[in-house]
């Protein structure tokens, strides 16, 4: 007898939607997330004030008695239909009939000289810290990298009194204009884009522009940017830099799920290649908020046996997937970015391994064995996305624990027959 | 700050609003170096969401805690690799 009909890993939009739809279909549902509050990164509450849309889903989950397990990180699958999770002060195992992986995405970081300096961080990274109370008022911030996250972060920082110097977007203006035309068939998105542009008034949005170096002694003091033939240095307190998103697939890989296009592969009911294991949202490929919600709803219905109700959502999902595809093409990373790191630039921040040492290896396996690249605490989550882009190497297999876990937790989750 | 949480960062007391993450309390305390890398470089949070492990510090004597995912609690003793 499993503890739950449906266990959901991840409490962002996809996980919340999945948990709510499964629970309202009569399933006994648990929802696990490594953060203290539900909402994921996009709905990360600023000082307890979750956006209205997030609050609706969170209240609905409470009303349908979804069991909320906070601050818990899945790290192993000790037996069939069981998942082990670690909390701040312990570990527990959940038994389930169906599992829904809504593990979201992380930022893709590309190394360049100085990227390891304190206060040079991800775009979403600075946003997360600001939402957790870091005062940005009066701080000079350069926002760089690629994707729709950059203007969103700029808007948030500006609203909180930051001196946002500029947004450096690596994509070409022509690529984004083509994308803008496609937006016309998605009125909601168009409004969103227009709204953002209005709020951004006064912040230069430079296309075909990227950072080539960060400078500073104990922390970042300036960033050197390049645009066409022009190179200049901008003084700053923070650099918020991320080159798009990468799906979090580690738990899916641990369970043996097939991957496709960098994410967890799913069928039309959001089921993975493993019977009874579903996946939704960014873990299956980067697609944004609306797609994550509808995929979560489909997975929730399907996992609870309501396949007809799942089917009714296929049409909106198709529309959002087309939009996601257009977005991906518009913000595709340019070849020139491969020249960002020098041979002596660190690629692996956990083990301090340079590009030169990694490049000298034949592939991921040799790099791990000879240089320890990807073998530190983050287990390749940061350098993996960079190495994939710079050298074309795909990360190899995943082994438990998928997160560094305490010895007591591991002892509890020994594989059993 | 009626609902302030009081903790210490490297022995220095600091009060922060309820819900503040330890990573933010460290920054508010004026500390920019959260840890030293294996080759001695100063490091601080990169991802802000529990992925990169650059924010790890000691909390109440337990090492390698990710400060960006730990909410501040009264009486917490936080030590960075100062």
**What is the Cα–Cα distance from A352 to B37, expressed in whole angstroms?**
7
| pLDDT of residue A415 exceeding 70 | no
Tens digit of each residue's pLDDT (9 = 90 or more) over A84-103: 999 877 899 999 999 999 99
**What is the Cα–Cα distance from A381 to A106, expressed in whole angstroms?**
8
Q: How far is B75 from chain A (nearest CA, A)?
A: 17
Q: How far is B9 from chain A (nearest CA, A)?
A: 15
Mean pLDDT score, A296-311: 97
> E strands along A249-300, which residues?
259-260, 263-264, 277-279
Q: Which of B1, B33, B39, B46 is the mutation pick for testing A, counting most A CBs within 10 A?
A: B46
**How far from A236 is each of A215, A377, A417, CA to CA, in Å?**
10, 29, 56
Note which residues in 56-115 of chain A have CB less than 8 A from chain B. 71, 73, 88, 106-107, 109
CATH number corresponding to B4-79: 3.10.20.30
pLDDT band (50, 70, 90) for residue A417:
very low
Give the ipTM of the model, two decimals please: 0.95
> What kind of fold does domain A109-243 have according to CATH?
FAD/NAD(P)-binding domain (3.50.50)
| pLDDT of residue A413 exceeding 90 | no
Query: In this structure, what is the dihedral angle of CA atoms B20, B23, B24, B27, given to the nearest 10 degrees?
Result: 150
CATH number corresponding to A4-105+246-327: 3.50.50.60
What's the residue count for chain B?
Answer: 82
Q: Which pLDDT score, from 0 to 100, does residue A11 have?
A: 96
Return the domain boundaries, chain A. 4-105+246-327, 109-243, 336-417
Q: Do A376 and B53 touch (CB under 8 A)?
A: yes
Average confidence score pLDDT of chain B: 93
Mean pLDDT score, A4-21: 98
Q: Is A243 helix (H, G, I), strand (E, B) or coil?
A: strand
Tens digit of each residue's pLDDT (9 = 90 or more) over A163-216: 999 999 999 988 887 766 566 556 456 446 655 665 566 888 899 999 999 999
Query: In this structure, what is the dihedral angle of CA atoms A91, B4, B29, A346, given to the nearest 10 degrees?
Result: 30
Which mean pLDDT values do the consecutive 10-residue runs of chain B (82 residues) have? 85 93 95 95 95 95 92 96 72
A101 closest CA partner among A240, A238, A260, A264: A264
**Longest CA span, chain B:** 43
Least-confidence region, from A192-196, A294-298, A338-342: A192-196
Return the domain boundaries, chain B. 4-79
A32 closest CA partner among A69, A75, A77: A69
Average confidence score pLDDT of chain A: 91
**How far from B78 is each of A118, A229, B11, B14, B57, CA to CA, in Å?**
18, 47, 8, 11, 7
Tokens of B30: 């004026």
Q: Which pLDDT score, from 0 to 100, does residue A283 have?
A: 98
Tens digit of each residue's pLDDT (9 = 90 or more) over A97-120: 999 999 999 999 999 999 999 999
Which secondary structure element, helix H or strand E, spans residue A309, and what is its range?
Answer: helix A307-311
Tens digit of each residue's pLDDT (9 = 90 or more) over A135-146: 999 999 999 999
Q: Does A218 touch chain B (CB under 8 A)?
A: yes
Do A4-105+246-327 and A109-243 share a fold? Answer: yes
Given a contact cutoff of 8 angstroms between Cβ atoms, the answer to whether A270 and A22 are in contact is no
User: Which strands, in side-by-side order, build the sheet including A209-215?
Assistant: A209-215, A222-227, A230-235
Q: Which pLDDT score, from 0 to 100, does residue A198 have?
A: 56
Tens digit of each residue's pLDDT (9 = 90 or more) over A355-397: 999 999 999 999 999 999 999 999 999 999 999 999 999 876 6
> Looking at per-residue confidence, does A222 or A394 come out higher?
A222
Q: Which pLDDT score, from 0 to 100, does residue A414 have?
A: 62
Query: Which chain A residues have a beta carbon less than 8 Å from that of B67?
Result: none
Cα Rg of chain A, angstroms: 21
Q: Do A218 and B17 touch (CB under 8 A)?
A: no
Q: Over pLDDT 90: what percentage of chain A?
A: 76
Q: Which pLDDT score, from 0 to 100, does residue A403 have?
A: 80
A389 closest CA partner among A335, A348, A345, A343: A335
Q: Which of B48, B66, B76 is the mutation pick for testing A, counting most A CBs within 10 A?
A: B48
Q: Which pLDDT score, from 0 to 100, does residue A117 have?
A: 98
Q: Does B69 touch chain A (CB under 8 A)?
A: yes
Q: Which of B19, B32, B53 lies nearest to residue A219, judging by beta carbons?
A: B32
> E strands along A112-237, which residues?
120-121, 140-146, 163-169, 205-206, 209-215, 222-227, 230-235
Q: Which pLDDT score, from 0 to 100, does residue B22 have?
A: 96
Whether the model pTM is above 0.90: yes
């Amino acid at each position: 007898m499993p503890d739950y009909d449906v266990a959901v890993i991840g409490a962002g939009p996809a996980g919340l939607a999945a948990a709510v739809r499964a629970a309202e279909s009569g399933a006994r549902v648990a929802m696990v997330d490594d953060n203290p509050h539900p909402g994921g990164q996009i709905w990360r509450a600023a000082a307890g004030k979750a956006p209205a849309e997030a609050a609706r889903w969170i209240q609905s989950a409470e009303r349908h008695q979804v069991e909320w397990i906070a601050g818990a990180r899945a790290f192993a699958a000790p037996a069939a239909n069981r998942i082990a999770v670690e909390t701040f002060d312990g570990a527990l195992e959940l038994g389930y009939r169906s599992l829904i992986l809504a593990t979201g995405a992380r930022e893709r970081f590309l190394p360049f000289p100085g990227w390891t300096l304190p206060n040079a961080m991800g775009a979403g990274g600075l946003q997360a810290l600001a939402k957790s109370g870091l005062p940005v008022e009066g701080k000079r911030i350069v926002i760089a990298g690629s994707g729709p996250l950059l203007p969103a972060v700029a808007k948030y920082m500006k609203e909180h009194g930051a001196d946002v110097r500029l947004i450096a977007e690596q994509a070409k203006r022509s690529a984004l204009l083509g994308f803008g035309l496609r937006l016309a068939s998605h009125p909601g998105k168009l409004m969103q884009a227009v709204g953002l542009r209005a709020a951004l008034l006064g912040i230069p949005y430079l296309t075909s522009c990227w950072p080539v170096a960060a400078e500073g002694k104990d922390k970042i003091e300036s960033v050197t940017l390049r645009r066409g033939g022009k190179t200049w240095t901008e003084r700053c307190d923070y650099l918020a830099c991320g080159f798009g998103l990468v799906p979090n697939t580690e738990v899916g890989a641990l369970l043996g799920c097939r991957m496709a296009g960098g994410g967890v592969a799913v069928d039309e009911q959001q089921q993975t290649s493993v019977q009874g294991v579903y996946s939704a949202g960014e873990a299956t490929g980067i697609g944004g908020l609306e797609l994550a919600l509808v995929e979560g709803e489909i997975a929730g219905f399907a996992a609870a046996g309501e396949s007809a109700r799942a089917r009714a959502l296929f049409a909106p999902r198709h529309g959002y997937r087309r939009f996601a595809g257009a977005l991906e093409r518009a913000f595709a990373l340019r070849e020139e970015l491969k020249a960002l790191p020098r041979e002596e630039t660190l690629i692996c921040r956990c083990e301090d391994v340079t590009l030169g040492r990694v490049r000298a290896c034949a592939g991921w396996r040799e790099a791990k064995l000879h240089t320890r690249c990807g073998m530190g605490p983050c287990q390749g989550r940061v350098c993996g996305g960079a190495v994939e882009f710079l050298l074309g190497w795909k990360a190899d297999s995943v082994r438990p624990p998928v997160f560094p876990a305490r010895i007591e937790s591991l002892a509890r989750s020994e594989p059993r027959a | 700050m009626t609902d302030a949480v009081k903790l210490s960062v490297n022995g220095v007391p600091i009060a922060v609003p309820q819900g503040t993450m330890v990573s933010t309390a460290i920054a508010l305390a004026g500390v920019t170096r959260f840890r030293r890398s294996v080759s001695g470089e100063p490091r601080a949070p990169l991802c802000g969401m529990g992925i990169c492990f650059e924010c790890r510090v000691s909390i109440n004597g337990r090492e390698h805690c990710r400060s960006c995912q730990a909410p501040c609690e009264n009486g917490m003793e936080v030590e960075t690799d100062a």
